[in-house]
Structure 1
C-alpha cells in the first residue's frame, strides 16, 4: 500500500523536535511493509494539498502560530474536506488552536481560526509548563506542556489529564478530536514518547494490521517515564 504523508509548515512550526513525529510514522509504516512518501508544505506554497493519508502540523512560538494561521487559510477547504472524509490528522502543540473558532492573544487581539469546531483559545501573560500524564482509551500517555493559553468550548476532548494542565483547568480534559482529526498541546514529540498512540494512528491510516512493530528503545523509555511520573504524582497526593 502506498501512503502519502504531508508535513505542514515544517519550516515554521517545529519547536521541540516535532519533525520526529513524521519521521517515526514514516519508519513505522515502512516497517509494516508500506511504501511511504513524505511531502513538506512550505509557508507560501499554494499547491493543492488534497489526497494525503496523514497530515501533521507541529508547534511554534505564539508569533509564528499567527503567521501559520494566515497562510493556512488558503488550504482551509482541503483540510476541512480531509477531516470530514476521516483522513488521519495530528496537530500538536499550539497548532491545534488554529482549528478552533478564534484565538485571542494576551493583548486582546482576536484571530479567526479555521472553524473545525467552535472552541476558543485565550492567551495569557503567564506560561503553563510541566510534565503530563494523560488517559487515552485504556492507555496512559506521557508528554510535556508549554503553553500560555486556555482553551474552552471543546465538546470532544482527546485525553483526560492525570497530571498537568488540560484545555482550561488542571487535570481536566485535554485536546480535541473530530472524526480522525486529533489535536493536543502535548509535545515530546508525542508519537516518539507514546508507542501506543503511534500504533493507533498507524492503524487508522492503513487499517487493522496483522502484526505489531515494536521499538524496544521507545518501549523502555515510555515505561521509565510513566513510572517516574506516576511516582511523582503519588507523592504529591
Structure 2
C-alpha cells in the first residue's frame, strides 16, 4: 500500500449496487489513473469494517430490504463517520443517498434511522414512482455541467436547512418533493438519485470528487471522447421525452 495513493472505498457492493452503480467506482478509479495517480481500491462487504483512512467513499443503490440491512450494519460501524470527520469525500446514490440522511422508510414500511451525515429525511410516495431519464442543472458553486442520469424510485427526500440541493431538475422528478430539487450536498458529503451510472454519464462529477480529495482546483486533461458521446446521446433522449 502506498501512502501517496488515492484511497477509494466502495461500501457494501454485496447489498448496494443496482442499475450499474458499480460503474461509479470504476470511473473514478479510471479518471484518477488517467491523471497518473496511484489508486488503492477497497471493496468493503457488509460483513467487514469500513476503514477510516479512505479518501473517497462511494455507496450505490439497492432494493428496500438490502437498503435496510445496509443501514443497520453501517450504523453500527463508526468507520464512515470517522472518515468524514477526517475530511473524506462521500457520494451516495439512491438508497445510498437515503442512508446518508436522518431516516428512510424500509421494506417493512417502518421509519429507519440513517447516518445523519446529510440533513435530509426520506418518505415514500404512495401513488407515484419516478422512472426515466433525468436532466438537472447542478449547484453553480460546484462548477459542473448539466447532469444526466436515470431515476427509478418511489422515495421522496426532504431537505433540511443544513444542506443545499445538488441540482435543479429540468426533466424528471428528482427528490420527488415537487420543488425541482435533485440530491443534496454539504461540504464533502453528496447524495443523488441519479443512476446511469452517474459517473459514466457525468465524468466531471468523478473529477470533482478527485479534486476535493487532493485539495486541488484543477486536474490535467483526460480523454472525454467516449463520455461526451454518451452524454450527448442521453441528454438528447431526455429532451425528447418532453418534446
Query: Are the aligned partners of 1:106 and 1:123 in contact in 2 as well (CA < 8 Å)?
Result: no
The Cα of 1:121 is off from its aligned counterpart by 0.7
Query: Are the aligned partners of 1:31 and 1:213 in contact in 2 as well (CA < 8 Å)?
Result: yes
Q: CA RMSD in A?
A: 1.9
* Structure 2 CA distance for aligned equivalents of residues 160 and 94 of structure 1: 20
* Structure 1 CA distance for aligned equivalents of residues 54 and 85 of structure 2: 13
Give the number of the structure whose residues are more often helix, by fraction.
1
My pick for the range that moved more, 160-169 or 124-133, is 124-133
Tell me the equivalent position of 1:165.
Answer: 173
Tell me the equivalent position of 2:53.
Answer: 51
* Structure 2 CA distance for aligned equivalents of residues 33 and 82 of structure 1: 25
My pick for the range that moved more, 27-36 or 79-88, is 79-88
SS where residue 225 of structure 1 aligns?
helix
The alignment covers a number of residue pairs equal to 232
Give the 3 Å change call, closer, same or farther, for CA 227–89 of structure 1 in structure 2.
same
Query: Are the aligned partners of 1:53 and 1:87 in contact in 2 as well (CA < 8 Å)?
Result: yes
* Structure 1 CA distance for aligned equivalents of residues 62 and 76 of structure 2: 19
2:22 is aligned with 1:19: yes
2:130 is aligned with 1:128: yes
Q: Point out where structure 2 has 5 or more consecutive residues left out of the alignment.
A: none
Give the 3 Å change call, closer, same or farther, for CA 210–65 of structure 1 in structure 2.
closer
* Structure 2 CA distance for aligned equivalents of residues 16 and 119 of structure 1: 23
Query: Are the aligned partners of 1:139 and 1:196 in contact in 2 as well (CA < 8 Å)?
Result: yes
Give the 3 Å change call, closer, same or farther, for CA 36–117 of structure 1 in structure 2.
closer
The correspondence for 1:177, drawn from 157, 164, 185, is 185
The correspondence for 1:68, drawn from 64, 67, 70, is 70
Query: Are the aligned partners of 2:65 and 2:106 in contact in 1 as well (CA < 8 Å)?
Result: no
Give the TM-score, by structure 1 length.
0.90
Give the 3 Å change call, closer, same or farther, for CA 60–82 of structure 1 in structure 2.
same
The Cα of 1:55 is off from its aligned counterpart by 0.4
* Structure 2 CA distance for aligned equivalents of residues 129 and 227 of structure 1: 17
Give the TM-score, by structure 2 length.
0.88
Query: Are the aligned partners of 1:13 and 1:60 in contact in 2 as well (CA < 8 Å)?
Result: yes
Alignment of structure 1 residues 22-33 onto 2, 5 Å: 22-33=25-36
The correspondence for 1:147, drawn from 153, 156, 160, is 153
* Structure 2 CA distance for aligned equivalents of residues 40 and 210 of structure 1: 25
* Structure 2 CA distance for aligned equivalents of residues 210 and 28 of structure 1: 10
